Structure 1
Amino acid sequence: MHSKELLLEAFGRLPGLVRHTLEGLNEADLQRRPAGNGNSIAWLIWHTARVEDAQVASAAGMEQVWKAGGFQSRFDLPLGDSDTGYGHSSRQVDAVRAPAELLLEYYQAVHRQTAGVLEGTDDPDLDRVIDRHWDPPVTLGVRLVSILGDCLQHLGQAAYVKGLHAGTAGAGGA
């Protein structure tokens, strides 16, 4: 297996995790915050998509799906144009409201762009330095692994929050 195939397989699992987490949830379920101040499922899915979108687009020199696909206006959030959720206050987490269908549509569009970038990536490309602000500088391969790890963590958190909702359809184990 080549690196590209491995990355496509790994990133290819994320849309199913998003879809499964969103299944059966209503608007109240999406907005409910554990203990009243944890991150909501809506925020976690939105943030996952935003982080993958922003970082893959930057690494590939492409426009973000958020803007190019019109999702920024469709979500109509009271946040900055380039906001991805890093460092959000409790009020900002509450402000991220969207129906499950829109969250899924946006993530699927982000995934299509990520898969396209990965399809055009060969092993030598993974050694290309894309961020010199770190020591050592960050390569494309390291950034992709970082993005994948972040997405898996947040999707795991969203699935956990779904499981906390008593009576939620499909909220059982893995």
Structure 2
Amino acid sequence: MRSRELLLDAYGRIQEELRPAVEGLTPEQLTYRPAPNANSIAWLAWHLARVQDDHIAEVAGTEQVWTAEGWYDRFGLPFPPSATGYGFTSEQVAQVRVPSADLLLDYAAAVHARTAEFLRGLTDNDLDRVVDENWDPPVTLGVRLVSVLADDLQHVGQAAYVRGSLLPG
């Protein structure tokens, strides 16, 4: 197995785990927060897709799916197009309200499709390319891809936990 196949499988698991955490929930259930400052499923799903979209577009040198395919307008959130949810306050998290679970899942699927397209074109040598010199040591493409993957899987697990606290059993 090459790195490309490993990454494709790993990123595919985000989609596999996100669907059961989000699917079938009402807009009200998607905004449920188990504690006043906790993240909602809507925010978790939106944020993980936004960060993946932002980071993959940056390393691929493409426009984000969020703006290129009109998702920003479809969501109608009160944030600038560049917002990913990173550093959001509790009040901003509460503003992430979506009309349906399908909208979240469709956006995440579009991001995954763009990610998979990018990953299919990678070679093992590409993973050593420096993509961010603002860190010491500088961040390589491989490190960036694993970082996004780890963050997304963590947020998927959090969304599944929130769903479980909302709909136990």
Report the counterpart of residue 81 of structure 1 in structure 2: 81
Gaps of 5+ in 2: none
Report the counterpart of residue 25 of structure 1 in structure 2: 25
Aligned-partner Cα distance in 1 for 2:23–2:92: 24
Report the counterpart of residue 41 of structure 1 in structure 2: 41
Aligned-partner Cα distance in 1 for 2:146–2:16: 19
Report the counterpart of residue 54 of structure 2 in structure 1: 54
Q: Secondary structure at the match of 1:130?
A: strand
Stretch deviating more after TM superposition (116-125 or 27-36): 27-36
Report the counterpart of residue 8 of structure 2 in structure 1: 8
Aligned-partner Cα distance in 2 for 1:46–1:23: 14
Report the counterpart of residue 145 of structure 1 in structure 2: 146
- When the two structures are superposed, what TM-score results if normalisation uses the length of structure 1? 0.94
Q: For 1:110-149, what aligned pairs fall within 5 Å after superposition?
A: 110-149=111-150
1:37 Cα deviation after fit: 2.0
Runs of 4+ in 1 over 3 A off after TM superposition: none
Stretch deviating more after TM superposition (156-165 or 27-36): 27-36
State the one-letter code of the partner of 2:26.
N
- Partners of 2:24 and 2:101 within 8 A in 1: no
Identity of aligned residues (%): 58
Stretch deviating more after TM superposition (49-58 or 10-19): 10-19
Gaps of 5+ in 1: none
- When the two structures are superposed, what TM-score results if normalisation uses the length of structure 2? 0.97
Report the counterpart of residue 64 of structure 2 in structure 1: 64
1:16 Cα deviation after fit: 1.5
Aligned-partner Cα distance in 2 for 1:75–1:158: 19
